[in-house]
Amino acid sequence: MTDGTNETPGAPRVPSGQNAGPNSGPNVTLEEIARAAGVSPSTVSRILNGTARVLPEKQRAVEEAIARFNYRPNVLARSLASGRTETIGVLTQAVSSPFYAEWLRGIEEALAEPGFTPIFVSSRWNVVDEKARLEEFVARRVDGIILLHAQLDEPTLTEYSRYAPMLVLGRSVQNGMALAGLPIDNLQGARDATRHLIEQGHREIAFIAGPSNHEDAIERLDGYRSALEEAGIGFDADLVEQGDYLETGGVAAMERLLARRPSLSAVFCANDQTAYGARLTMFRRGVRVPEDVSLVGFDDLPTSSYMTPPLTTVRQPTYEIGRLAAQGIVQMIRKQPVALSPIPLTLVTRETTRRIGPSLSKGDQRA
Amino acid sequence: MTDGTNETPGAPRVPSGQNAGPNSGPNVTLEEIARAAGVSPSTVSRILNGTARVLPEKQRAVEEAIARFNYRPNVLARSLASGRTETIGVLTQAVSSPFYAEWLRGIEEALAEPGFTPIFVSSRWNVVDEKARLEEFVARRVDGIILLHAQLDEPTLTEYSRYAPMLVLGRSVQNGMALAGLPIDNLQGARDATRHLIEQGHREIAFIAGPSNHEDAIERLDGYRSALEEAGIGFDADLVEQGDYLETGGVAAMERLLARRPSLSAVFCANDQTAYGARLTMFRRGVRVPEDVSLVGFDDLPTSSYMTPPLTTVRQPTYEIGRLAAQGIVQMIRKQPVALSPIPLTLVTRETTRRIGPSLSKGDQRA
DNA sequence: TTGTAAGCGTTATCAT
DNA sequence: ATGATAACGCTTACAA
């Protein structure tokens, strides 16, 4: 618990770097650098920020002092004085969801370029938490806010957008210059997936839905339904089961489906995690995919292409969406106009779907 | 691009909440609250922080003013004045890795209790980035640092630990009161997994290794090797293939393995992602799991229990590890002693492993 | 080009 | 119990 590597309490915390002067470390201030270099604090500040040109010799002296003292500007003081934090609050529903991971990566990387730092927090699918996290953003004086699947109502979002420009992913909102939505075309994606199944000859296509209070879950259901109707098959509520976007929900829903409609020939799941669960249930029940039942997911999680067999699903270009969001919020901060068109989704046909005879029923489908 | 919901440029940004006074919003300062409540700024500060008892009537007046103006303390100013940011820098190799996700969740949740906010950043498996991120932590004056799988050498870590207490996950370091490691018993985990395979009658057990510059990858290889030797089977370099902890690496390694040693009866992968890749290759080649070849992974990612068949793997209690790390760093910040014992790993036996005759060779294994 | 000085919004140390 | 007042470390007019 104790060893010689730690500073004496009260003593300045200094690194042991070779160039470390007596007062180096994070406690070195801009003023000390100024004094050491024989210039005024403002000059140091100017050099640090490139705010004005400075005589080369002073420039050198300051840079030398900075290196010698291992000086790092205090971000807090800088932000307090300037009024800018160069920080973007990013609210996810769950940092740990495989689904958000790629979005965050896109956001982080695109934000790094203009020099912004994302602050990731998660609200755990909880509206109360969601509001609390937004309050934190305000308290931290973030320069912008990105919301992934906000559940808060639009008036509330509008209100918070007065503090900092806000971009809402996966949702369409009344766009303003402080509030913008980057909608994702879930309806189209779900319709394409369902059409694909229909084209393959499927007629008895089940759907495992997502949480009914999620905008995108509703859109996906609508897409499924509209493809069915457009093909003249008609919507059959008996073929729809409720899921929760989680694997466990998929397991349970598939069990109910199999019990109620053993004749179904395809299952379309509202997201990949649900499909994973449905897949497990089929494995347990000895239902082969795709020989007995075709399966389609939604999202194209990184692992979906490694499922056995690889999952046919609707791909969301999450990384790219993340980048777009980051670029968008930066533009909003800079008061530049942003044009965000709905993100199109594409079907990725892999190996969980199979063509079946146009009007064959169960008995014949089985390989 | 424009609508009525935005404030006139230059006008104070105020929310339209019902109680919103003329000067509400994030620009309201503690001083204004003090003035409105007829007390001094220090009194407001005391009420906000519970630093001292205040007359009930003033307390009420202040609280009323806070509510009326919708006042939120400026975290930056507070931190600058107090010297504490209540912030923990958390460095991961990749925010988007399914592997880190659960750790982050554990960290975030456990940190919320004592009121700390994590700042997640990723270094993308890049040592240069890793150092840059640490510099950012220093610039942000974080109160503590948690590193997930740091690649930097120990002297460097020790140096940074002088700025803020540092906890390194998945690594053992010279513990001090400002630097501590939370080791994970990879060797034991790998040994248990290999022993399991041996007990099931397997003798020709291949191993797909992780990056050779990763401490944990090396430990896992060592565990595999030691279990083999302990059983008198002996280590056969021909059965070891190089992977990279990613699915693609698993695919390629498995291909080479199958070509070189078609007689192998089991494959142990350095992590689950590698196992996913190996599984796919086997699926492609018509090698059945576990009928033809048994497969074991390492990590127990959330999706592993939904693989087909569910993957036998070594479970890391990542969420709990995250919580432990969070609690540990808070204790270090508070200068309390922390005792971190190595995290034990447990084998989760699912359905990708199968008992085979003690000395049967390939031909007989095939179901 | 460079320096002086006034903030930025808090906390914390003194007195009272 | 409460109020002045001096930091905290930086940016930014305003002067020079």
Q: Please give, rounded to a whole number of angstroms, the shortest distance from the CA of B186 to a CA of chain A.
A: 23
Query: Using the beta-carbon criterion (under 8 Å), do B158 and A77 form an inter-chain contact?
Result: no
- Determine contact, residues A277/A316, Cβ cutoff 8 Å: no
Q: What is the pLDDT of residue B367?
A: 39
Tens-place pLDDT, residues A125-164: 889 999 999 999 999 999 999 999 888 999 999 999 999 9
Q: Closest by alpha carbon to B171, among B91, B272, B240?
A: B91
The string of pLDDT tens digits covering residues A224-252 is 999 999 999 999 999 999 999 999 999 99
Contacts of A231 (CB under 8 A, 6+ apart): A195, A198
Q: What is the mean pLDDT of residues A322-335?
A: 95
Quickly state the pLDDT bin for A25 (edges 50, 70, 90).
low
So what's the pLDDT on residue A245?
95
Q: What is residue B311's DSSP assignment?
A: P
Average pLDDT over chain B, rounded to whole?
89
Q: Cβ contacts (< 8 Å) between A80 and chain B: which residues?
A: 74, 76-77, 80
Residue whose token pair is 């913008």: A180
pLDDT tens readout for residues A97-124: 878 888 999 999 999 999 999 999 999 8
Indicate if the alpha-carbon torsion angle B236, B238, B244, B245 is positive or negative.
Answer: negative
pLDDT value of residue B26? 67
Point out the residue among B3, B98, B174 whose CB comes nearest to the CB of A101: B98
Most confident of A85-94, A333-342, B276-285: B276-285
Give the whole-angstrom CA distance, residue B288 versus residue B294: 9
* Chain-chain contact of A178 with B98 (C-beta, under 8 angstroms): no
| Domains of chain A with bracketed CATH | 1-73 (1.10.260.40), 85-183+318-343 (3.40.50.2300), 186-311 (3.40.50.2300)
Residues B208-224: what's their mean pLDDT? 95
Chain B: give the shortest CA distance to residue A361, in Å: 27
Among A194, A256, A238, smallest CA distance to A219 is for A194
**B338: closest CA among B330, B346, B350?**
B330
Of A161-170, A195-204, B88-97, B204-213, least confident by mean pLDDT is: B88-97
Q: Could you give phi then psi for residue A102, rounded to 5 degrees?
A: -65, -35
pTM over 0.85: yes
- pLDDT of residue A13 exceeding 80: no
Residues in chain B: 367
Nearest nt (C1') from A83 Cα: C8
- Which of B79, B176, B338 shows the shortest C-beta gap to A76? B79
Instruction: Note the pLDDT tens digit of each residue in B122-147.
Output: 998 889 999 999 999 999 999 999 99
pLDDT for residue B13 is more than 60: no
* Cβ of B54 near strand D (distance < 7 A): yes
Give yes or no for a contact between A212 and B41, defined as CB atoms under 8 angstroms apart: no
Instruction: Sort A231 into a burial class: Cβ within 10 Å, 0-12 / 13-18 / 19+.
Output: middle
Q: What is the 3-state secondary structure (H, E, C) of chain A?
A: CCCCCCCCCCCCCCCCCCCCCCCCCCCCCHHHHHHHHCCCHHHHHHHHHCCCCCCHHHHHHHHHHHHHHCCCCCHHHHHHHHCCCCEEEEEECCCCCHHHHHHHHHHHHHHHCCCCEEEEEECCCCHHHHHHHHHHHHHCCCCEEEEECCCCCHHHHHHHCCCCCEEEECCCCCCCCCEEEECECHHHHHHHHHHHHHHCCCCCEEEEECCCCCHHHHHHHHHHHHHHHHCCCCCCHHHEEECCCCHHHHHHHHHHHHHHCCCCCEEEECCHHHHHHHHHHHHHHCCCCCCCCEEEEEECCHHHHHCCCCCEEEECCHHHHHHHHHHHHHHHHCCCCCCCCCECCEEECCCCCCCCCCCCCHHHHCC
Identify which of A323, A275, A282 has the alpha carbon closest to the alpha carbon of residue A298. A275
Find tokens 């998660």 and name the residue: A122
Please state which of the ranges A161-165, A275-279, B97-101 shows the lowest mean pLDDT.
Answer: B97-101
Within 7 Å of a protein beta carbon, the nucleotides of strand C are: 1-5, 7-13
Determine the residue of chain A that is closest to B15 in CA distance: A159
| Tens-place pLDDT, residues A179-190 | 999 999 999 999
Residues across chain A: 367
Can you give the pLDDT at residue B1?
A: 32
Average pLDDT rounded to a whole number, residues A1-30: 45
- Here the tokens at position B309 are 């068949």
- Inter-residue contact B24 to A194 (CB < 8 Å): no
**What are the residues facing B90 on neighbouring strands?**
B120, B146
Report the first-to-last Cα separation within chain B, whole angstroms. Answer: 66
User: Which among A95-104, A149-158, A193-202, B167-176 has the top mean pLDDT?
Assistant: A193-202
Element at B242 (helix H, strand E): strand B240-242
Q: What is the mean pLDDT of chain A?
A: 89
pLDDT at A54: 92
Residue of A nearest to B178 (CA): A6
Tokens of B152: 């930097």
Q: Mean of the pLDDT values across residues A299-320?
A: 96
pLDDT of residue B24: 61
Looking at this protein, which amino acid is placed at residue A13? R
Cβ distance of A120 and B122 shorter than 8 Å: no
**In this complex, which protein residues place their C-beta within 7 A of any atom belonging to strand C?**
A 38-43, 46, 52-55, 58, 77, 80-81, 83; B 27, 29-31, 41-42, 45, 48-49, 51, 71-74, 77-78, 80-83
Residue with tokens 């290196």: A67
Residue B339 has what pLDDT?
87
Size of interface A-B (CB pairs under 8 A): 182
What gap in Å lies between CA B254 and CA A225, rounded to an integer? 42
**Cβ–Cβ of A76/B162 closer than 8 Å?**
no
Question: Which pLDDT does position B2 carry in this prediction?
Answer: 32
pLDDT greater than 60 at residue B5: no
